Structure formats: C-alpha cells, structure tokens
C-alpha cells in the first residue's frame, strides 16, 4: 500500500504551517488558492487543476481512460476571525484572523492524499480533490454547486471530514442519517414608537414583548440529542432602544439561532418561532419583521457510504466508532449530501487538543498522515464498489 515518503510528509507539514501563517476569512481565500495551486503544480501534478471554482475554489482531478464513478473529496479553506494566542513560529501574521478550525490541516491532508494518488492512480473512474472556500459562513458549498464546471463533473460520491478535538487522535466518528445539525440565524426587529422617558405612556415600547420573546424562545427547545426531534433555540443577542436616559424605547432587536437534527424539523421550528413573534408583536401593537441569515442544511449521511468509511478506517489502521447522535454544529457539506451520495465524518484531533474556534487551538500535524491514508482507502472503495441508490 502506498505510504507517504518522509520528504512528502515534511512538505505537507510545511504547507500546513504556511497556510496557517497566512489565514484568510470566508470569501477572501485568493492567496490560499494560489498557494494550493503552486503546491499542486510543483509537487503533485494532477491531470487537471480547475481554479476559481465557486469563488476561490480549487479542484484537482486525477482522470482515467477507463470509465468508472467520479469520487470527490472535500477540504475547506477559510480561517475564522479569532485572535491567535500561539507562540509557534508559524502563528498567524494577519491580526484577528487565524486557522482556529483546522481548515489548514484539512487542506494539507488533501494534498497528502494527492501525493498518494499521483503515485497510485485510480484504475478506473476519476478522483477529484476539492478545496472549498467559505465554509464558515455557509456560502461556499452553494457557490461550488452553482459553478458550471463543477456541474459538468457530475460526481457520483462526495465525502468530507472535520477534525474533532477531545477525541483520540485519528479515531473516526461517523453515523448514518443526520450527522451535523441544520441551523439558521433569525433576526427579529420590533418597532413601536419612542417617547419622552417622563411620558412613556405616549409611546409604544417593545420592552415587554422583547422580554417575553426571549423567555418563550427557550421553551421551543427540546434538548433530546439522540432523538430526531432535537431542537434548540439560543438567544444570541438583544438590544432595546438607545443608551439615552431621556428616551423611552421605540424599537428592539432580538437574534436567535435555531438548530435541529433534520431539515424538516427546522421548517417546523421556524414556523413556531415566527408564530411567537407575530403573537407577541400584535399583543403589544408593534410592527415586526424577520430576516434569516447563515442558513445551513443538516448533513445527511448515506448509510452505504458510512459503512464503507468504517471499513476504510479499519483498513488504514484507525479506530472507527459510530456516534449515537448528530454533532450539534452545522456544516455546509450538507448541501453536497442533499444532492449526491456522500457522507461527512470526524477524525479525532487528540484528547488534549483545544476546542475549535478557541484562541489556542492548532491542528495536529500528526493527523495528516492518518487522514490521507484513510481517505485513500475510502476513495478506492468508492471507485470499486457499486452502491445501492
């Protein structure tokens, strides 16, 4: 079995640290895309490299004259707006931006897979390494899907992974069905009428409606995580009037994040939340409006792809475990599993690894070898197995 040479592994660690040093936020990954292209051209030389896919996306293809399925493996490219506290030599040089979600490691691992594939080309079918921008804000997958060059590929299978702190290094965690929650941000505006603070009865204050809404949103949650009915409404922000002692408030904003295990549950939760807003606003004679932001579909894993991933992990010498409940976070990978047979999984980044988006997080380089080994086996199995629809 093809393993990575020491020199190749060293190059993968080096590019991971280079990507870490120059992080870019969602939608602004132009420099990252160039670094990836340079690395692919210098070291891996796939048959084709498509650039500017769905924004700053890069797609490296290993073609084959013998027909077979098209398998895509996806890594995300963007960093997050967190101030890094590391003293490592490769710490972020861009103030307030850092790879605190490990997407630098996801990219390096996909490049490591490229080394393996370049040496051991698929015997039939086609493998694509997809570097996807703008995962954090939920827009990247949709932009990739809208790109005609991506559509022309018509992939049969799409798989992705995320590193997971708190779990032993290299342990695969996966489950069939919902793996990551659907979520969306709901921004509510309540509008009444300001008045002099000495004569509040002359105005229409949203104060009571706002407080009642915040309380009643909490009651929408059904925190039974291993149940498909799991739903969570988290108030994340609230504002009433202006910071002026002379004015009774005339408007309010409440922001709440809604989260469910399945997409159809999200529809139901949104309707309940909207009905609450309408009721409380009408009771208080207020105008109201709702806007939705950061909408993520649930990631629904195909059972046959999950079974195949479990086998691939064991072949790669990794511990494979199924989890009994979806991850609470959301991933825009759900847009791929809506359209193609595919699955998202997690690989443990170590029990002592700081949590994602924390200022002291750093992707463990040791995961690059294990992750690329696992993905090679997963790709090979997908290329050779004929799957039930």
The number of residues that bind Zn ion (CB under 5 A) is 1
Sequence-distant (6+) residues with CB within 8 A of 215 are none
The tokens for 383 are 């290329």
User: How far apart are the C-alpha atoms of 47 and 27, rounded to whole Å?
Assistant: 26
For Zn ion, the closer CB: 91 or 357: 357
For Zn ion, the closer CB: 76 or 156: 76
Q: Which residue has the tokens 């806007």?
A: 291
Give just the sign of the alpha carbon dihedral 305, 307, 308, 312. positive
Q: How far is the CB of 28 from Zn ion (least distance, A)?
A: 16
Q: Is 77 in the site for Zn ion (CB under 5 A)?
A: no
Using CB under 5 A, which of 19, 73, 101, 256 touches Zn ion?
A: 101
Listed ranges 97-105, 121-129, 206-214, 275-283: which one lies at the site for Zn ion (CB under 5 A): 97-105
Q: Is 256 in the site for Zn ion (CB under 5 A)?
A: no
Q: Is 174 in the site for Zn ion (CB under 5 A)?
A: no
User: How far apart are the C-alpha atoms of 246 and 197, rounded to whole Å?
Assistant: 5
Q: Is 82 in the site for Zn ion (CB under 5 A)?
A: no
For Zn ion, the closer CB: 100 or 204: 100
Tell me which residue has its CB nearest to Zn ion: 101
The tokens for 332 are 């825009």
Listed ranges 101-109, 234-242, 364-372, 380-388: which one lies at the site for Zn ion (CB under 5 A): 101-109
Q: Is 258 in the site for Zn ion (CB under 5 A)?
A: no
Q: Is residue 85 within 8 Å of residue 55, measured between CB atoms?
A: no
Mapped onto helix, strand or coil, the DSSP state of residue 225 is coil
Listed ranges 45-53, 95-103, 267-275, 313-321: which one lies at the site for Zn ion (CB under 5 A): 95-103
Closest CA to 256 of 207, 290, 222, 230: 290
Q: How far is the CB of 329 from Zn ion (least distance, A)?
A: 8
Sequence-distant (6+) residues with CB within 8 A of 203 are 192, 193, 194, 195, 248, 249, 250
Interface with Zn ion by CB under 5 A: which residues?
101
């Amino acid at each position: 079995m093809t393993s990575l040479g020491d020199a190749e592994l060293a190059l993968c660690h080096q590019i991971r640290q280079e990507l870490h040093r120059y992080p870019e936020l969602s939608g602004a990954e132009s420099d990252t895309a160039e670094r990836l292209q340079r690395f692919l051209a210098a070291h891996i030389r796939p048959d084709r490299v498509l650039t500017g896919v769905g924004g700053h996306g890069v797609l490296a293809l290993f073609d084959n004259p013998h027909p077979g399925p098209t398998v895509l493996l996806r890594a995300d490219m963007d960093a997050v707006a967190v101030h890094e506290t590391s003293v490592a030599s490769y710490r972020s040089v861009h103030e307030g931006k850092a790879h605190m979600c490990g997407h630098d490691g996801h990219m390096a691992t996909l490049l490591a897979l490229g080394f393996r594939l370049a040496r051991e080309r698929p015997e039939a079918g086609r493998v694509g390494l997809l570097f996807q921008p703008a995962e954090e804000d939920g827009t990247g997958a949709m932009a990739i899907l809208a790109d005609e060059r991506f559509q022309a590929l018509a992939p049969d299978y799409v798989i992705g992974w995320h590193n997971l702190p708190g779990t032993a290094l290299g342990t695969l965690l996966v489950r069939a069905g919902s793996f990551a929650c659907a979520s969306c941000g709901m921004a509510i505006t309540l509008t009444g009428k300001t008045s002099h603070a000495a004569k509040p009865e002359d105005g229409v204050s949203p104060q009571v409606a706002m407080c009642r809404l915040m309380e009643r949103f909490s009651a929408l949650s059904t925190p039974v995580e291993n149940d498909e009915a799991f739903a969570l409404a988290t108030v994340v922000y609230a504002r009433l009037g202006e910071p002026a002692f002379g004015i009774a408030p005339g408007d309010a904003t409440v922001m709440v994040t809604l989260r469910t295990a399945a997409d159809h549950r999200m529809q139901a939760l949104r309707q309940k939340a909207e009905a609450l807003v309408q009721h409380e606003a009408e009771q208080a004679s207020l105008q109201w409006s709702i806007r939705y932001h950061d909408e993520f579909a649930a990631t629904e894993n195909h059972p046959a792809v999950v079974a195949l991933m479990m086998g691939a992990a064991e072949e790669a010498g990794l511990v494979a475990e199924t989890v009994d409940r979806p991850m609470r976070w959301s991933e825009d990978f759900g847009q791929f599993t809506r359209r193609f047979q595919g699955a998202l999984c997690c690989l443990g980044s170590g029990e002592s690894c700081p949590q994602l988006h924390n200022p002291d997080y750093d992707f463990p380089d040791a995961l690059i070898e294990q992750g690329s080994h696992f993905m090679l086996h997963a790709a090979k199995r997908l290329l050779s197995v004929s799957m039930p629809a």
